Amino acid sequence: MFRRLWDAMEDFPPGRVPLLLIVFAIVSGGVVAVRSAIHREPKLTIWTFTHISAEEFKGRLKDHPDRSEIKLENLGNAMFDRLSLAVMTQKELPDLVEIEQTFAGQFLRGPVENAPFVDLTDRIHGEGWDKKCVYARLARYSHGNRIYGIPHDLHPMVLVYRPDVLESLGLSPEQLATWDDWIRASDKLYHPGAMGTEEWRRGIVLSTIEGFDYLSLLWQRGGDIFDADGQVIIDSPLAVDTLEFYRSLFEGEHPVAGARLSSWSEDYAALSRGQFVAYPAPDWMLAGMQMEAKTLLEGKVRCMPLPAWEPGGRRTSTSGGTAMFIPKGCADEDRAWALAKFLYFDRDSLIERFRRQTIVPALHTVYDDPVFDEEVAFFQGQKVGRLLTELAMEVPPVQGSPYISEAYNRLNAVFSDVMAGRLAPEAALKDVARRLRETIARDQRAVERVGGR
């Protein structure tokens, strides 16, 4: 049959080869059309920068009715540059993007109406999410009293400590409820010797290189870098006094604090040897500690609240944070909003996230779940989840700003000089504040020039 068909092709005026090319084109076109119908372009694209979120979202999206129309991309740290380019060119923008708090503010510079993200304020208030979330957390992703991101987490902080070491020194967590209590106990907590050698001990480990531990203490005390109106307040009397106090923890005959070592693993090893008695840690660090220091610390440590600034005061702070944003230009804001809630506010998802990552959600309506009452063998059977949720409602508000990344960088640039005594705390913070105000004023003048054209 094929032979007769081949011979019949010879009767086609142009010949066999052109006829075969025409048939091939028709068939190929049909295949492409069918493949296009089956493999449609996704209607919603999600960007994240971390494999942990990517794996979590992948698992969640398996149950989503529109999973075939959703594209998830983990772009790593390159995501932030790619997002900057997409915002500038208004091309290839995602429909949802997950941004770490350090980078979120830089996209909100300029007038509020020019923000590249959808204003979620009315949706959040209209659907009651402001009542279901720990409200303080929404401040971190706000600008001009408008909310642009929904929080992934809360990150309350605790002290991971060695109960056996405290007991051997005649101390208990109840006797160390305030920062002043730790100072009064410093003669017991301190053991002389150069850090890094065998013979030394310090009460609490804090950084002398970067300012993030200092900021956690400042936030706990009610201070901040910016106020709710976006004004710089990092040189306020409260901020200066807190930095002077922070530096004093490393001073004196019996310093209560010791400098962080060169890596988390070295810090964990020092904690396991009893050379650090207590280690400040946000919730997310507890999961990492259980994985990275299992052989060193399992069954040796427990968690206690941070010491308060005054009796009965706030016993926690916060460190880090991530949020989900909807870029302007999204083809379907309603579908993107619904998907964001599915990924960030779904009860089962939040419970599983805590079980795997010890991340306390900002959504406090899930705190009644039994997962938070589970005993954790690593922490001597302690119900760490319940401690974290009890502290969650005390997490201080941290004000977001378009200049937060620059503020962190400027503080870190002077911090080691402050801690080494080469620069006074007040002079350092005034210099940081002056430079931030100059940058903000410069940007405002640029906006006014453009607006006056």
Name the token pair of 148.
């642009």
Take residue 90 and report the two structure tokens written for it.
């208004």
* Cβ-contact 206, 213 below 8 angstroms: yes
Assess whether pLDDT exceeds 80 at residue 375: yes
Q: pLDDT at position 66, please?
A: 84
Give the per-residue SS3 of 364-418: HHHCCCHHHHCCEHHHCCECHHHHHHHHHCCCCCCCCCCCHHHHHHHHHHHHHHH
Q: What is the pLDDT confidence band of residue 21, given thresholds at 50, 70 and 90?
A: very low
- Within a 10 A sphere around the Cβ of 322, how many other Cβ atoms? 25
Convert the pLDDT of each residue in 333-360 to its tens digit.
999 999 999 999 999 999 999 999 999 9
Is 285 a residue whose pLDDT tops 90?
A: yes
The DSSP bridge partners found for residue 143 are 146
d(CA 11, CA 305): 91
Edge to edge, the sheet with strand 202-206 lists 257-259, 202-206, 276-282, 157-161, 302-305
pLDDT score recorded for residue 451 = 66
Percent of the chain with pLDDT over 70: 89
φ, ψ (nearest 5 deg) of residue 101: -60, -30
The position carrying tokens 């983990």 is 74
**Whole-prediction pTM value?**
0.88
- Return the pLDDT at 42: 60
Secondary element (H or E) of residue 46: strand 44-48
Residues 6 or more apart in contact with residue 295 via CB below 8 angstroms: none
Residue listed under structure tokens 């091309």: 91
- In this predicted model, what pLDDT tens digit does every residue of 35-65 receive, in sequence order? 433 444 568 999 999 999 999 999 989 888 8
Nearest Cα to Cα of residue 101 among 376, 412, 367, 403: 403
**What is residue 41's predicted lDDT score, i.e. its pLDDT?**
55
pLDDT in tens, 171-195: 999 999 999 999 999 999 999 987 7
Region of poorest pLDDT, from 136-140, 279-283, 383-387, 408-412: 136-140
Nearest-angstrom CA–CA distance, 60 and 49 = 17
Q: What is the pLDDT of residue 6?
A: 42
The mean predicted confidence, pLDDT, of the chain is 89
pLDDT of residue 25: 40
User: Rounded to whole angstroms, how far apart are CA atoms 255 and 246?
Assistant: 11
Beta-ladder partners of 98: 324
Helix (H) or strand (E) holding 204: strand 202-206
List, in sequence order, every beta strand (DSSP E) within 252-339.
Answer: 257-259, 276-282, 302-305, 322-325
CATH class name, domain 157-318+403-446: alpha beta
Determine the Cα–Cα distance for residues 135 and 92; give it in Å rounded to an integer: 33
- Closest residue by Cα to residue 42 from 67, 13, 79: 67
Q: Are 379 and 301 in contact (CB under 8 A)?
A: yes
Residue 429 contacts residue 243 (beta carbons within 8 Å): yes
The CA dihedral of 354, 359, 362, 365, to the nearest 10 degrees, is 20
Map residue 226 onto helix, strand or coil.
strand
Q: At what angle do helices 404-419 and 212-221 cross, to 10 degrees?
A: 110
pLDDT of 32 above 60: no
Which CATH code for domain 44-154+320-392?
3.40.190.10
| Domain(s) of CATH 3.40.190.10: residues in the chain | 44-154+320-392, 157-318+403-446
Predicted pLDDT at 386: 98
For residue 249 the two structure tokens come to: 């923890």
Burial class (CB in 10 A: 0-12, 13-18, 19+), 91: exposed
134/366 Cα distance (integer angstroms): 11
d(CA 160, CA 280): 6
Convert the pLDDT of each residue in 191-247 to its tens digit.
998 776 678 999 999 999 999 999 999 999 999 999 999 999 999 999 999 999 999
pLDDT value, residue 144: 85
Alpha-carbon Rg of the chain, whole angstroms? Answer: 28
Q: What is the DSSP string of 178-208?
A: BHHHHHHTHHHH-B-S-TTSSS-BEEEEE-S
- Give 57-82 as a DSSP string: HHHHHTT-TTGGGEEEEE-TTHHHHH
Region 128-140 average pLDDT? 93
Measured distance CA(222)–CA(234) in Å, rounded: 12
- Between strands 202-206 and 257-259, the pairing is parallel
- The DSSP H or E segment spanning 99 is strand 96-100
